[in-house]
Amino acid sequence: LFNCCIVQMLHCTTAALVNCCYIQLLYCSTAALYKCCTVAMFNCCIVQLLHCSTAALYKCCIGQLSLCSIVALFNCCIVQLLHCSTAALYKCCIGQLLHCSTDALFNCCILHCSTVALFICCTVQLLHCSTAAFFNCFIVYPLHWSTVAMFNCCIVQLLHCSSATLYNCCIVHLLHCSIVHLLHCSTVALFNCCFVHLPHCTTAALFICHIVQLLHCLSATLVNCRYV
């Protein structure tokens, strides 16, 4: 019956083929089932999600990447999250970047990707993911990212993160940021970061912050800066 289905694949309706595959699901080998997974059979795989072996289903989804609907493929990857390899899942997420919901993609990256992969995910999604999620992404993996990227992240998130979090972000990278980047960030923002947390700043970091901001501070603020 299964061989009959394969031979007739181009001639029978999708519904009929799916029914054929469904009946044979417990009897045919993984290899045979995979051969059945073509355009029509992909619907069968999705429907059979809880019944077929995870390995077989995932191979079916990945193999059909260019043939199946983007939504269906992404759902397949997400549902199989605990069973498929991180590398395979990430390829699935990245490939679907423009088509899947932002929350789903971000969760996919956060939970399973390597640090390098996660950074690519976060950076690409900069304009699409929620501010809170994006900032958490950078804070969790700060030691693995380029200083420039981390600093840009801090500046962009300035109005959304808590003072304590922002301070840690600024201070940790203050000595590593290039002067070029310091001049491009919001002067008031950077100065506030240093000044608000004055008792906690290292002398070197605070001094660099003050010197760089010297020509941009308001008179009253500048006086405080000098005296402190």
pLDDT in tens, 98-120: 334 445 444 544 444 444 444 44
Nearest CA to 31 out of 11, 2, 4, 9 is that of 2
Terminal alpha carbon distance of the chain = 86
User: pLDDT over 70 for what percent of the chain?
Assistant: 0
Task: Compute the Cα dihedral for 25, 104, 125, 134 and give only its sign.
Answer: negative
Predicted local distance difference test score (pLDDT) of residue 26:
39
Give me the number of domains the chain comprises: 2
Tell me how far apart the alpha carbons of residues 128 and 99 are, in angstroms, rounded to a whole number.
12
Count CB-CB contacts under 10 A for residue 226.
Answer: 10
Q: What is the per-residue pLDDT across 142-191, written as a single tens digit (0 to 9) for each?
A: 433 344 444 444 444 433 334 444 444 444 434 333 333 333 334 444 44
**191 close to 213: Cβ distance less than 8 angstroms:** yes
Of 10, 33, 68, at which residue does a domain stop? 68
Virtual CA dihedral for 103, 108, 114, 115, nearest 10 degrees?
A: 10
* Within-domain flag for 140: no
127 part of a folded domain:
no
Selection from 92, 89, 93 nearest residue 106 by Cα: 93
**Is residue 47 included in any domain, yes or no?**
yes
Q: Largest alpha-carbon pair distance within the chain?
A: 89
Q: Is residue 228 part of a domain?
A: yes
For range 189-218, the mean pLDDT = 44
In a domain, 42, yes or no: yes
Q: What is the residue range of 9's domain?
A: 1-68
Which of 68, 86, 119 is the last residue before a domain boundary?
68
Task: Identify the sign of the CA torsion 69, 74, 76, 79.
Answer: negative
- The pLDDT value given to residue 166: 43
Residue 6 in tokens: 């394969």
Give the distance, in angstroms, between the CA of residue 19 and the centroid of all CA atoms in the same chain: 37
CA distance 216 to 223: 12
| Residue 175 in domain | yes
The answer to whether residue 163 is domain-embedded is yes
Q: Which of 68, 83, 116 delimits the end of a domain?
A: 68
pLDDT, position 18:
46
Q: Shortest CA distance to 149 belongs to which of 161, 160, 134, 132?
A: 134
φ, ψ of residue 91 in degrees (nearest 5): -60, -40
Give me the pLDDT at residue 144, please. Answer: 36
Single-letter residue type at 186: S
pTM for the model stands at 0.20
Q: Answer whether residue 178 is part of any domain.
A: yes
